[in-house]
A and B are shown apart, each in its own frame.
Chain A
Amino acid sequence: MERIHTLAIQESCDTDFVRKVEEASGQKVSKCYQCGNCSASCAYTQVYDYPVNQIMRLVQLGQKEAVLQSHSIWLCAACQACTTRCPNNLDVARIMETLRIMSRQENKVAEKDIELFYREFLGSVKTFGRVFEAGLLPIFSLKAGKPFTDMDLAPQVIKKGKLAFLPHRIKGRKQVAEIFARFEAQQKNRKTEAE
């Protein structure tokens, strides 16, 4: 992963972004004083483009593009190590989650496969009421252009009788689909209100 970044921070500063992140996450990002505990605790710095403490700094500096286009926000596993160890009691993992959501809303997702996997997962829940593992994986693999994902594991899983070949459709799947529909309508309303 590219680790040297040059940013013209005065030119690209978006103060409204700072306000939006703080409002949506309920966290005062300005409290971060760059001690680096979060990055020291993070198991994912090895694959991040910006370590998590730098993400916090970039948010403070209003660097919307750099943050929302970063790989880091999508590679965060929400393991809560950063949140647990922040001396300012910032819920760092919650801020990362807020940034993920914003990057999707603004079509700036750098890790397309991870977003695709999440989308297919939710699609499965919306359709059946529960996630259908045996259906989710092949669809994801094909759409991601990685048709052999986890093929090595299939024989063992089938042998142990752990793979359901048909989805479990719950009776209340319409109720579940309606939750999704109401959520989408709510989002749409908010967007129009904001505009």
Chain B
Amino acid sequence: MRIERTKRMKKRVAYYQGCSLEGLAVEYDISTRSVCKALDVELVEIPDWNCCGSTPAHSHDPLLSAALAGRNLAIAEKIGCETVMTPCPGCLKSLKGALQVFHNEREHDSFMQLLAMPFAGEIKAISVLQLLYETVGADQILQRITRPLIDLVLAPYYGCLLSRPAQFAQFDDPENPVSMDELLSSAGATVVDFPYKTECCGATYGVTRNEIVAKLTGRILDMALSLGAQAIVVACPLCQQNLDLRQSQVDRHWKRRFDIPAVYITQLLGLALGIEPERLGLDKLFVKPDFFLKLSLNHSEQMKEAQS
């Protein structure tokens, strides 16, 4: 008898976590792994991966950036993966940039000369959001929700790079992305119509030009609060760092206390999927998400009572 292939078949994806997820964004790594496990996606960490060079490599030379990111792609191909997933949009830009350079006639040879490793350039690079939204799908996730995020009012914030530029990202809408909105709605949350979805948070200037981040991040926090959001939901470790870790600096600049948590999409979906908060790194956030965590837990208990 022929075995029917189902959508629930286990998927195997190369995992490129990137440097941020080893340090300041460790909760993004923890929650990504937990959520993928719960959704039957097997993550194979790229053995001995290196830093993609991020913005500094791009600003030095796109070819150097491509070669640094390329080493990771070449290793992922070697271990037999067709897709590499990274939670970090900055890393994604470098990985996709490497593929673009590889397929560019003018740059191909110089790139291969720098890389000096066998590489076929057939692997695909996607973000964790793309994996959840396109590969797994909101409908599949909906079926597995055990703890709906009822009563949570959330502002989805995508940042610059996840869907831009459109031709390069080939994911969601460049001006009005909706993937996180839909995933969060599926998980039962109320999602505000957030006009600053793709406004820049100040990027890497937290260290070198702090006042830029204070101003731009402050605008995003202010908008989220004015729309009644209890938390901002993010998918980028740099955005999260500016909105969360640097919120105390933003507070000082604006002479007010924002006190709004910035939570990763994987952490919230994890909660909705019934994963325990400890396995989602919620304790690692600087602005505590306690109040909505309690809210969500209370509700699920109430629902259980109602059902019994």
A175 touches B71 (CB 8 A): yes
Report if A186-B53 is in contact (Cβ < 8 Å); known contacts: A43-B200, A83-B165, A176-B68. Answer: no
B46-76 interface (Cβ within 8 A of A):
48-51, 53-64, 67-68, 71
Contact of B63 with A168 in the complex, beta carbons under 8 Å: no
A-B contact pairs, 6 of them (CB 8 A): A43-B216, A97-B59, A121-B56, A153-B245, A156-B245, A172-B48
B62 and A114: CB pair below 8 A? Answer: no
Q: Smallest CB–CB gap between A151 and chain B, Å? A: 11
8 Å CB interface, A113-164 against B: 113-114, 117-119, 121-122, 125, 129-131, 133, 137, 140, 144, 149-150, 152-153, 156-157, 160-164
Are the CB atoms of B71 and A172 closer together than 8 Å?
A: yes
Partner of B64, one of A133, A152, A179: A179
For B203, what are the chain A residues with a Cβ–Cβ distance below 8 Å? 77-79
Partner of A157, one of B24, B53, B198: B24
Within 8 A of B (CB), among A51-107: 75, 77-81, 83-84, 91, 93, 97, 100-101, 104
- With beta carbons under 8 angstroms apart, the residue of A43, A80, A122 that contacts B56 is A122
User: Are B209 and A84 within 8 A (Cβ)?
Assistant: no
Give the residue among B110, B165, B205 with the most A Cβ atoms within 10 A.
B165
B22 on interface, CB distance cutoff 8 Å: yes
- Distance between Cα atoms of A157 and B205 in the complex (Å): 18
- Give the nearest-CB partner of B106 in chain A: A26
Residues of B within 8 A of A (CB): 19, 22-24, 26, 48-51, 53-64, 67-68, 71, 110, 113-116, 160-161, 164-166, 174-175, 198-200, 202-209, 212, 215-216, 245-246, 248-249, 283-284, 286
5 nearest A-B residue pairs (beta carbon) = A118-B56, A79-B160, A77-B203, A80-B164, A79-B200
Contacts of B212 in A (CB 8 A): 44, 47, 75
Q: Which residues of A contact B166 (CB under 8 A)?
A: 84
| Chain A residues within 8 Å of B19, by CB | 130-131, 133
Q: How far is the CA of A103 from the CA of B217 in the complex (A)?
A: 29
Task: Name the B residues within 8 Å of A101 (CB-CB).
Answer: 59-61
Kindly state the separation between the CA atoms of A186 and B164 in the bound complex, as whole angstroms.
Answer: 31
Contact B50 A78 (CB under 8 A): no
Q: Is the CB of A150 within 8 A of B116?
A: no
Given contacts A43-B199, A77-B200, A162-B24, contact A152 B248 (CB under 8 A): yes
Is the CB–CB distance between A122 and B205 below 8 Å? no
Docked CA distance A100–B65 (Å): 15
